[in-house]
Amino acid sequence: MSKGLPKRSENYSEWYNEIVKRAELAENSAVRGCMVIKPYGFAIWEKMQRALDDMFKETGHQNAYFPLFVPKSFLEKEEEHASGFAKECAVVTHYRLKTNPNGKGLIVDENAKLEEELIVRPTSEAVIWNAYKGWIQSWRDLPLLINQWANVVRWEMRTRIFLRTTEFLWQEGHTAHATKDEAVEETNKMLGVYATFAEEWMALPVIKGAKTENERFAGAEDTLCIEGLMQDGKALQCGTSHFLGQNFAKSFDVQFVNKENQLEYVWGTSWGVSTRLMGALIMAHSDDQGLVLPPKLAPIQVVIVPIYRAEEDLAKITKRIEPVVKELKSKGISVKYDDDDKYKPGYKFAEYELRGVPVRLGIGMRDLENGTIEVARRDTLSKEPRSIEGIVEYIETLLDKIQSNIYQKAFKFREENTFKVDTWEEFQTQIETGGFILAHWDGTSETEEKIKAETKATIRCIPFDEEKESGNCVYTGEPSKQRVVFARAY
RNA sequence: CGGGGCGUAGCACAGCCUGGUAGUGCGCACGGUUUGGGACCGUGAGGUCGCAAGUUCGAAUCUUGCCGCCCCGACCA
């Protein structure tokens, strides 16, 4: 195995691909555009799932599961939705194979053609709203707050591991409400959940905002999003929350009887985050030594590497360290004592760095004599000897410190790469160096498209937390009420 | 779908121009010495050279066709 990773500064996408492979997060599979998520990568995803799932439950949602297949007629019902997804759908047309009568192999049995094609879900609004029709009769059935963890398929032209794969894993929340206000509130609330998750768990600062009409989800009245900034200066959409209005309720005829005994269409929302977050996690924090994981999402938070020559020395080290391991575990810290004799310490150090383990402890005979242990931090790549007394408490606070340091670093990076731009010349120059550009926009799709055609920059969102400030569109000079966020994006 | 690159051992690649015994490094197996930042020595295993056809006494190498992968763009979470 060649040792160093490619440098981020030299070839960012190669660095990204290598880190995914070498840290054993995932690999490209034999199936074009689809990935194999390996155990270490999946362990991170499981931690994300757990944290998010807990947050969904806390906000009153329940999990359920809906079918993989969507009858074409369901998908067609909401027109915008249908045309939005039409060009990226996998279609099932037959239900049987047979052995090739002309020789070896299997062929599609033409006699087993489906009467109606089934679409492999690109998202589940259609199946779910079809089911909701049967679930909702009265205002007493509302709100209906459902989430599902599932895989979806979108036949993208070009794929990139974790960031855009043909099949990906995600969670999709689908809720139904009696009033518009309640649905809008739900849309906002879940965007807030995503932002909290991104910032507190992934240590990734995000901008909350609304998508422009061009970037809106097919079938939604309003699409909200969180946008993160990656180390190469490109933006990555990390989560979306849609206010669906009554679009799906009308298309699937989901009505309820209100307290006044009148029939009304329900109001809907849907929201999701996907395995793309794995890509965000990698690209936001990692360095040229490998992955850097925030402690809250690290499958292994602390690794302990014994350094010894003789078997007896290992036994002594093990005896000394065992109570520490036990105590760390009792505090809920995931710790690995790596006494594997097949690899040398130096190899292990490099390996755990590559895998982003936040804290590494090294302990050898010298430490046993001195009552010390070496503490190495992944985020700063620094190390120092500490007294082994009180080490557990020290590590507990250190993990918190690392979590917030990683966030602060990402936050600082974003601050340094966010620019207010007021002239078109400046815009064109700045977009080349990357980052978020805050600029005025006249609010028209035409301008948005022209800017995209000329610079490849898109409006990532109309931010919620930026102060409202009037000005003139950076492209047309027309009046504008507030700055929007431009960037080149993944 | 356009533009570029590449398919040779598990991985990374050389060999191809100029046809003639299939190689190197890493990894793997075994033995020994090692172990505080990716150890070293020795021995060994491992290949229908992407697939198919053609040219030739002879093809990894030349020709044609096909397949696959990666990167850059258009599309997108």
Bases along strand B below 7 A from a protein CB: 1, 10-12, 26-27, 34-39, 68-77
Q: ipTM of this predicted complex? A: 0.85
**With a 7 Å cutoff on the CB, does A353 touch strand B?**
yes
Per residue in A28-47, pLDDT (tens digit) is: 887 788 888 999 999 999 99
Question: pLDDT tens digits for A327-373?
Answer: 999 999 999 999 998 899 999 999 999 999 999 999 999 999 999 99
What pLDDT does residue A217 have?
92
**pLDDT exceeds 70 at position A172:** yes
Mode of pairing for the β-strands spanning A235-245 and A222-229: antiparallel
Domains and CATH numbers, chain A: 12-66+125-285 (3.30.930.10), 300-398 (3.40.50.800), 418-487 (3.30.110.30)
The reply to whether the CB atom of residue A345 sits less than 7 A from any atom in nucleic acid chain B is yes
What are the tens digits of pLDDT across the range A52-108? 999 999 999 999 999 999 999 999 999 889 988 988 898 899 898 888 776 667 788
Instruction: Report which of residues 285-344 in chain A place their beta carbon less than 7 angstroms from any atom of strand B.
Output: 289, 307-309, 341, 344
**A180-235 residue pLDDT tens:** 999 999 999 999 999 999 999 999 999 999 999 989 999 999 999 999 999 999 99
Whether CB of A29 is under 7 Å from strand B: the answer is no
Nucleotide nearest to A347 (CA to C1'): B38
What pLDDT is recorded for position A28? Answer: 81
The half-sphere exposure of A261 on its side-chain side, counting CA atoms within 13 A, is: 0
| Mean pLDDT taken over chain A | 93
Is A228 (CB) below 7 Å from strand B?
no
Q: How confident is the model at residue A1 (pLDDT cuts 50, 70, 90)?
A: very low
The model's pLDDT over A286-319, given as tens digits with 9 standing for 90+, comes to: 998 999 999 999 999 999 999 999 889 999 999 9
Residue A2 has pLDDT above 50, yes or no: no
**What pLDDT does residue A100 have?**
77
CA distance A83 to A137: 29
